[in-house]
């Protein structure tokens, strides 16, 4: 998938990595979903943090997880709050739970017709949305319904 068919128009702030989450963003450009997993207690954790909030180990590793999940919550946005979004409404933001990764949740857009009914509990899979035109280039993890 390339930015020519990105879900939202260009012009929103581009994600910039920092020391803590460089691995996530670079893995995403390779179309791999990586999140943190504690080497002390084995628990997955999200978003990026320096310490395990369960066992307080600083030994957090980045591990690849399968980009599949279920919709935990969602919203359909009708009122644009950014100039880039004026023509983009309505659009759908989903909160996706990854049951195979200790139930961490990730935010993304739900690809497809934004006016279609959204069901909490629906299964979704990740889609890597490249933005190669940006400097530096980046990739967003988006979600689409499983048939």
Q: Which residues bind other proteins (CB under 8 A)?
A: 8, 12-18, 21, 46-49, 53, 72-79, 81-82, 85, 88, 90-91, 93, 95, 104-109, 120, 140
DSSP letters along 39-55, please? TTT--EE-S--SS-TTT
Rounded Cα gap, residues 76 and 114, in angstroms? 7
CB 114, min distance to other proteins, A: 11
Contact 95, 118 (CB under 8 A): no
State which residue, 38 or 106, has the beta carbon closest to other proteins. 106
Determine the 3-state secondary structure of 115 from DSSP.
coil
Identity of the residue, 13 or 147, whose beta carbon is nearer to other proteins in the bound complex: 13
Alpha carbon 141 to chain centroid, angstroms? 4
Minimum distance from residue 59 beta carbon to other proteins (Å): 19
CB of 15 to other proteins, least distance (A): 4
Compute, in degrees rounded to 10, the torsion defined by CA atoms 20, 24, 27, 32: 150
Residue 74 or 128 with smaller CB distance to other proteins: 74
Quote the least distance from Cβ 81 to other proteins, whole Å. 4
């Amino acid at each position: 998938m390339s930015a020519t068919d990105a879900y939202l128009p260009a012009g929103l702030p581009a994600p910039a990595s920092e020391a803590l989450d460089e691995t996530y963003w670079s893995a995403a450009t390779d179309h791999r979903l990586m999140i943190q997993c504690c080497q002390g207690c084995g628990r997955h954790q999200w978003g990026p943090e320096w310490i395990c909030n369960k066992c307080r180990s600083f030994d957090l590793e980045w591990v690849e997880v399968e980009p599949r999940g279920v919709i935990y919550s969602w919203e359909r946005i009708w009122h644009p709050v950014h100039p880039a979004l004026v023509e983009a409404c309505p659009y759908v933001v989903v909160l996706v739970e990854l049951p195979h990764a200790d139930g961490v949740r990730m935010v993304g857009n739900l690809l497809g017709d934004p006016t279609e009914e959204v069901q909490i509990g629906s299964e979704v899979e990740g889609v890597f949305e490249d933005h190669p035109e940006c400097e530096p280039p980046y990739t967003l993890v988006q979600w689409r319904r499983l048939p």
